[in-house]
Amino acid sequence: MPETHEFQAEIKQLLDIVIHSLYTEKEIFIRELVSNASDALEKLRHTQLTEKDIADADQELEIKLTTDDQAHTLTIEDTGIGMTHDELVKNLGTIAHSGSKAFLQAIKEGGAKNDNLIGQFGVGFYSAFMVAKSVKVYSRSWQSAESGHVWTSDGSGSYSVEEAADLTRGTKIVIELNDDSHDYATADRVKSVLERYSAFVSFPIQLNGDRVNKVSALWLRSKSEITDEEYTEFYKFQAHAYDEPRLKLHFSADAPLAINSILFVPQNNPEKFGMTRAEPAVSLYCRKVLIDPSPKDLLPEWGRFLKGVIDSEDLPLNISRETMQDRALIDKLGKVVTKRFLKFLADEAKNRPEDYAKFYTEFGYFLKEGAATDFTHKEQLSKLLRFESSLTDAGKTTSFADYVSRMGEEQKEIYFLIGPSRAAIERGPYLEGFKSRNLEVLFCYEAVDDYVMRNLGEFDGKKLVAADSADVKLDEKEQEGEALSKDEMDALAKWLKETLGERVNEVKSSDRLVESPAAVLNADSFMTPQMRAMMKALQK
């Protein structure tokens, strides 16, 4: 007896949009299903390393597509890891896929038109419903004790699951095409889509019995033979992405480890809207075999915006994070790649400053986070940071190194001011004492800057000092006009302290100010005003 399940509310919403969308590039559903098949095969290959009892162990690892233009069906079959009854219910009935989550989030925020969003985020398995009257998923798990099942849905509110006899390990998806989509039951149409999207699948793909792809790992090929289009297609395939990569680094090393790697920076910062946190997405391979698609501690935390692959033949296939020796290898590998990537960014900044500035606008946050938290790479990272300053034009930035090169003989420290905008900082009373002495001040507009400056502490041996902190000592300056006498000054300070009472620590005279009569300075060396504001917000 088939059991019927309701889709989770989010999936219903998603399906409703997918089915009624006017999205023109419906063919992407083939790419989605082939990429799921490829993921399932990778997972099987990995399971084989640790498990002995695998159902149908002798089956070839491959993907087969079959078209039937009489019945108007397209079938996609793989011999991968398969799904148990419970996995069918969980994976195809609830929202797990991060792309679909981001998609729904974007719909909620009501940004672009829905049809565009499908192309931007991808809706994974559910994209099949753009072309389907009904979808049947036959699946049998690698775990030999589990029986096979078939999952069926027409994409409206529910689906059914039923036991199915005579299945071998893997998944077979049969799509009964809707009236507008009959061309996906013809071999020519499917072949042209496969040729475009599936060049990077590392398992053989057959269409109606003929082989369509040649299996090759792009990162092992020589750079000079690879076209930009190939890199872009590879990025899209590998990162499940829909944009073009913003930056690309393809490199090989022999020592201290043998490494072949391609790293990509996407167009946009996925954390820009503060809703999601990016997951590590640089896959770890050993001689073309996927070891981990999302290794948690290979690259530093701040590198979570990167996409791509790292392949090292020096790793054991069954690498384990639990053993010290393997842990040390992973550490070393991560460090070599990180150093190389940081050097690449430094070159970009030097050779293509305008592109670097655009990259920085989008991804600078991650570099700041790294500069504050990643002790190993702090120095390289601090050189990549950029700030506006009292000497730059609005919208233009400078580096610590350039700042230092402009420092006079006498100046020992690097000054910065934190404020919501350039105008706010320039309007405030803190800048004038520095300006009148020709001291440059860096302008920081982001909440995280305070934390970054404190954690960095110094650059090139020069202390980073907040220009509004009480312990900044500026040199004596000739007073213009008439100054108050010492007695008058003391009396004024006493009166101010009495009047302001507990609200201030101390009132004293200073020659920091040029135009303004008085300024509030931060005397608390443990907490800056920015930190206090943050604590207050947290306590609410």
The burial class, CB within 10 Å (0-12 / 13-18 / 19+), for 218 is buried
Which listed range, 119-127, 227-235, 422-430, 500-508, lies at the site for Mg ion (CB under 5 A)? 119-127
Cα distances (angstroms) measured from residue 297 to each of 270, 280, 496? 20, 9, 55
List the one residue out of 2, 227, 35, 193 whose CA is nearest residue 123. 35
- Binding characters for ligand ADP, 120-159, by CB under 6 A (x = yes): ----xx----------------------------------
List the one residue out of 145, 123, 143 whose CA is nearest residue 132. 123
User: Site residues for ligand ADP, window 426-485 (CB under 6 A)?
Assistant: none
Under the binding rule (CB under 6 A), the answer on residue 81 touching ligand ADP is yes
**Which residue's CB is nearer to Mg ion, number 124 or number 364?**
124
User: Site residues for ligand ADP, window 83-102 (CB under 6 A)?
Assistant: 83, 91-92, 96-97, 99
3-state secondary structure 339-381: HHHHHHHHHHHHHCHHHHHHHHHHHHHHHHHHHHHCHHHHHHH
CA angle, 462 as apex, 457 and 467 as ends, to 5°?
70
Chain residue whose CB lies nearest ligand ADP: 124
**Which residue's CB is nearer to Mg ion, number 29 or number 430?**
29
Which listed range, 81-89, 222-230, 372-380, 388-396, lies at the site for ligand ADP (CB under 6 A)? 81-89
Tell me if residue 39 falls in helix, strand or coil. Answer: helix
List, in order, residues 6 or more apart from 408 with CB less than 8 Å away. Answer: 438
* H or E, element range at 163: strand 158-163
**Which residue's CB is nearer to ligand ADP, number 33 or number 467?**
33
Long-range CB contacts (< 8 A, 24+ apart) of 418-422? 418/444, 418/445, 418/449, 418/450, 418/453, 418/466, 418/528, 418/530, 419/443, 419/444, 419/445, 420/445, 421/445, 422/388, 422/394
Picked from ligand ADP, Mg ion, none, the partner binding residue 83 (CB below 5 to 8 A depending on kind) is ligand ADP
Of 36, 261, 390, 528, the one binding ligand ADP by CB under 6 A? 36
Picked from ligand ADP, Mg ion, none, the partner binding residue 390 (CB below 5 to 8 A depending on kind) is none
From CA 128, how far away is CA 314, in angstroms rounded?
40
Helix, strand, coil shares of the chain as percentages rounded to 5?
Answer: 40, 20, 40
Instruction: Specify whether the backbone of 124 is left (phi greater than 0), alpha (psi in -120 to 50) or beta.
Output: left
**Which residue's CB is nearer to ligand ADP, number 136 or number 327?**
136
User: Site residues for Mg ion, window 383-442 (CB under 5 A)?
Assistant: none
- Binding characters for ligand ADP, 362-401, by CB under 6 A (x = yes): ----------------------------------------
What's the alpha-carbon Rg for the chain, to the nearest Å? Answer: 30
534 in Cβ contact with 447 (< 8 Å): yes
Q: b/e string for 482-497 if b means 16 or more Cβ within 10 A?
A: eeeeeeeeeeeeeeee
State in angstroms the smallest separation of the CB of 116 from Mg ion: 20
Of 66, 171, 382, 528, the one binding ligand ADP by CB under 6 A? 171
Of 82, 124, 155, 170, the one binding Mg ion by CB under 5 A? 124
Picked from ligand ADP, Mg ion, none, the partner binding residue 91 (CB below 5 to 8 A depending on kind) is ligand ADP
Give the binding-site size for Mg ion (rule: CB under 5 A). Answer: 2
State in angstroms the smallest separation of the CB of 83 from Mg ion: 13
Under the binding rule (CB under 5 A), the answer on residue 36 touching Mg ion is yes
User: Site residues for Mg ion, window 163-202 (CB under 5 A)?
Assistant: none
Of 30, 37, 193, 444, the one binding ligand ADP by CB under 6 A? 37
Of 42, 65, 73, 78, the one binding ligand ADP by CB under 6 A? 78
From CA 379, how far away is CA 288, in angstroms rounded?
33
State in angstroms the smallest separation of the CB of 23 from ligand ADP: 16
Picked from ligand ADP, Mg ion, none, the partner binding residue 230 (CB below 5 to 8 A depending on kind) is none
**Which residue's CB is nearer to ligand ADP, number 96 or number 489?**
96
> And the tokens for 527?
């907490």
Tell me if residue 120 falls in helix, strand or coil. Answer: helix
Picked from Mg ion, ligand ADP, none, the partner binding residue 348 (CB below 5 to 8 A depending on kind) is none
State in angstroms the smallest separation of the CB of 39 from ligand ADP: 6
Give the residue ranges of DSSP H helices in 109-246: 114-121, 187-197, 228-239
**Which residue's CB is nearer to ligand ADP, number 99 or number 429?**
99
State in angstroms the smallest separation of the CB of 282 from ligand ADP: 17
**Which residue's CB is nearer to Mg ion, number 36 or number 238?**
36
State in angstroms the smallest separation of the CB of 320 from ligand ADP: 23
From CA 185, how far away is CA 70, in angstroms rounded?
8
Asked if omega into 256 is within 30° of 0 (cis), the reply is: yes
Of 11, 46, 80, 259, the one binding ligand ADP by CB under 6 A? 80
Give the residue ranges of DSSP H helices in 129-204: 187-197
List, in order, residues 6 or more apart from 444 with CB less than 8 Å away. Answer: 387, 416, 417, 418, 419, 450, 453
Under the binding rule (CB under 5 A), the answer on residue 293 touching Mg ion is no
**Which residue's CB is nearer to ligand ADP, number 105 or number 469?**
105
> Which residues contribute to the site for ligand ADP (CB under 6 A)?
32, 36-37, 39-40, 78, 80-83, 91-92, 96-97, 99, 124-125, 171
Binding site for Mg ion (CB under 5 A): 36, 124
